Amino acid sequence: MSTNDLVAELKAHIKELTSEKEELNKNIALKDARIKQLLNKVEDANREVKSIAKRMEDCKAETEAAREETERAKKRIKQIKNTLGGGVLADEEDSAEKKAEPEPQL
């Protein structure tokens, strides 16, 4: 092989490698863009999960407050019934209510 043949072969090889390098760089850029999109989606989902967790805590607090208010109302009704002379009847109704109501699951 002559020097000119070797130079031409090297130039062709360099051209192939340069083309391959450009293609790989394009693929890297595409994958980087996709990774950024996925990262944004993950961050959005994370914010949404935190928001839902906060709302769940608020709902639990509201439920507990309502449960406590219901218990106070039941006690007040029982007191009123006792005051009006239905003491024995009120106690029997209270026992029946406790048996009929299942414990709420949290």
Identify the CA nearest to 89 among candidates 73, 77, 103: 77
Answer yes or no: is pLDDT of 39 > 70. yes
pLDDT at 82 (0 to 100)? 87
Answer yes or no: is pLDDT of 9 > 60. yes
pLDDT at 24 (0 to 100)? 98
DSSP track, 36-97: HHHHHHHHHHHHHHHHHHHHHHHHHHHHHHHHHHHHHHHHHHHHHHHHTT-HHHHHHHHHHH
Q: Whole-angstrom Cα distance, residue 62 to residue 48?
A: 21
- The number of C-alpha atoms within 13 Å of 1 and in the hemisphere containing its C-beta is 8
Whole-model pTM? 0.53
Answer yes or no: is pLDDT of 101 > 90. no
